[in-house]
């Protein structure tokens, strides 16, 4: 797993995985800085998780966002890749910290999803599932697999948060995004976290026979 340098002293293992993962280290580092008065400005965080089959375009999406001026092609991700960006919005003093998790290796390493989707980060998690349109026969099956896998993991996190108000806040947030007055609001099974589906390689699909 590749990552930016993070202080690890004093970090405790994640109770779900038994290891000290990057997100846990960052949260504990932030808590220490807040206690020391090093973070005067408010900080907003988001955890963005990229899922999908191998070579479905996950790395390309992240690369195009983080390195807009570079035209080189990113190397394929073989396991779990981590990057982050820190930025300010307009003239605001508020800072946005975005954590990018890319689950590479396809289904073989799906267990690594437990590291980037946790009860502690659930309220600020956003998932992006990429599908390869150049392989139309596998799109629906791949999409269903990743949707089901993600929902199962989110359900596990929600169960561990039963004594907190986080599940309620997640539901309210997603309901607001979908629209409380939407005509289909009673017909859909809303996910506790936002999910975006991205179809990649349309140029390899557009000229195929219907």
Model confidence at 177: pLDDT above 80: yes
Classified as helix, coil or strand, 130 is strand
Q: Is residue 110 part of a domain?
A: yes
Q: Is residue 18 part of a domain?
A: no
In the prediction, which pLDDT does 52 show? 85
Q: Is residue 177 part of a domain?
A: yes
Ramachandran assignment for 105, one of left (phi > 0), alpha (psi -120 to 50 degrees), beta (any other): left
Q: Is residue 10 part of a domain?
A: no
CATH number of 79's domain: 3.40.50.300
Give the bridge partners for 125, in sequence order: 47
Q: Is residue 180 part of a domain?
A: yes
Q: Which of 7-21, 65-79, 85-99, 190-204 has the highest mean pLDDT?
A: 190-204
Is 132 in contact with 57 (CB distance < 8 Å)? Answer: yes
Q: What is the pLDDT of residues 66-87, one digit of tens each?
A: 766 666 666 666 678 888 888 7
CA dist 156 and 168 (Å) reads 15
Longest pairwise C-alpha distance within the chain: 63
Q: Is residue 98 part of a domain?
A: yes
Residue 101 main-chain phi, psi, to 5 deg: -110, 125
Q: Is residue 137 part of a domain?
A: yes
Q: Is residue 5 part of a domain?
A: no
Q: What is the pLDDT of residues 1-17, one digit of tens each?
A: 444 433 334 445 555 55
- Whole domain around residue 52: which residue ranges? 44-204
In the prediction, which pLDDT does 45 show? 84
pLDDT band at 118 (very low <50, low <70, confident <90, very high): very high
Is 116 in contact with 51 (CB distance < 8 Å)? Answer: no
CA dist 14 and 20 (Å) reads 6
Q: Which CA distances in Å does 191 have to 7, 116, 118, 124, 207?
A: 33, 17, 15, 13, 34
Total number of domains in the chain: 1
């Amino acid at each position: 797993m590749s990552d930016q340098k993070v202080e690890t002293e004093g970090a405790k293992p994640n109770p779900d995985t038994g290891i000290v993962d990057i997100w846990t280290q960052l949260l504990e580092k932030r808590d220490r800085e807040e206690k020391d008065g090093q973070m005067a400005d408010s900080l907003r965080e988001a955890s963005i998780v990229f899922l999908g089959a191998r070579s479905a375009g996950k790395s390309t999406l992240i690369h195009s966002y983080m390195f807009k001026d570079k035209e080189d092609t990113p190397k394929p991700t073989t396991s779990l890749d981590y990057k982050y960006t820190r930025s300010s919005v307009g003239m605001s003093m508020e800072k946005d910290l975005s954590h990018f998790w890319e689950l590479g290796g396809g289904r073989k390493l799906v267990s690594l999803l437990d590291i980037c989707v946790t009860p502690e980060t659930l309220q600020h998690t956003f998932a992006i599932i990429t599908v390869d349109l150049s392989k139309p026969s596998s799109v629906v099956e791949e999409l269903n697999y990743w949707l089901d896998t993600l929902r199962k993991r989110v359900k596990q996190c929600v169960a561990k948060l039963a004594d907190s108000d986080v599940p309620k806040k997640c539901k309210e947030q997603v309901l607001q995004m979908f629209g409380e007055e939407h005509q289909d609001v009673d017909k859909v099974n809303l996910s506790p976290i936002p999910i975006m589906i991205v179809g990649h390689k349309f140029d390899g699909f557009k000229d195929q026979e219907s």
